[in-house]
């Protein structure tokens, strides 16, 4: 059964160092991340230093699209909160 992923990328502007978050969805998470890194993903992520900071899996395209929309409605602080919780579960201490 195919898996679908919703993910958040931390995007650092190489010119001024500003940090923003990009939310997307895909069936092939690592391939999509590589496309973003090579400048072949969304225009928003081009020319930025990228880090995959959050992802979750869903069984259906419908579920992943609903969740992507939900996350996109979150405030920046709410997104950072779910990232911190995810990183804690994954054992990464950098976002404590």
CATH number reported for the structural domain that contains residue 41 in this entry: 3.40.1440
Give the model's pLDDT for residue 2.
72
Give the model's pLDDT for residue 6.
98
Residue 54 in domain: yes
| Residue 83 lies in domain | 4-90
Which regions in the chain score pLDDT beneath 50?
none
Give the model's pLDDT for residue 66.
98
pTM of the full structure = 0.91
Residue 95 in domain: no
Residue 96 in domain: no
Give the model's pLDDT for residue 1.
64
As for how many domains the chain has, the answer is: 1
Give the model's pLDDT for residue 5.
97
Give the model's pLDDT for residue 35.
95
Give the model's pLDDT for residue 93.
60
Residue 13 in domain: yes
* Three state DSSP letters for the chain: CCCEEEEEEEEEECCCCCEEEEEEEECCHHHHHHHHHCCCCCHHHCCEEEEEEEEEEECCHHHHHHHHHHHHHCCHHHHHHHHHHHHHHHCCCCCC
Residue 32 in domain: yes
Residue 25 in domain: yes
């Amino acid at each position: 059964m195919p898996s679908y992923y919703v993910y958040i990328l931390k995007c650092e502007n190489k010119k001024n160092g500003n940090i923003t978050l990009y939310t997307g969805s895909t069936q092939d998470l690592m391939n999509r991340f590589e496309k973003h890194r090579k400048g072949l993903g969304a225009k928003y992520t081009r020319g930025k230093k990228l880090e995959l900071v959050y992802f979750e899996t869903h069984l259906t395209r419908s579920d992943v699209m609903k969740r992507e929309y939900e996350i996109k409605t979150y405030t920046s602080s709410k997104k950072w909160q779910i990232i911190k919780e995810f990183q804690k579960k994954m054992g990464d201490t950098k976002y404590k």
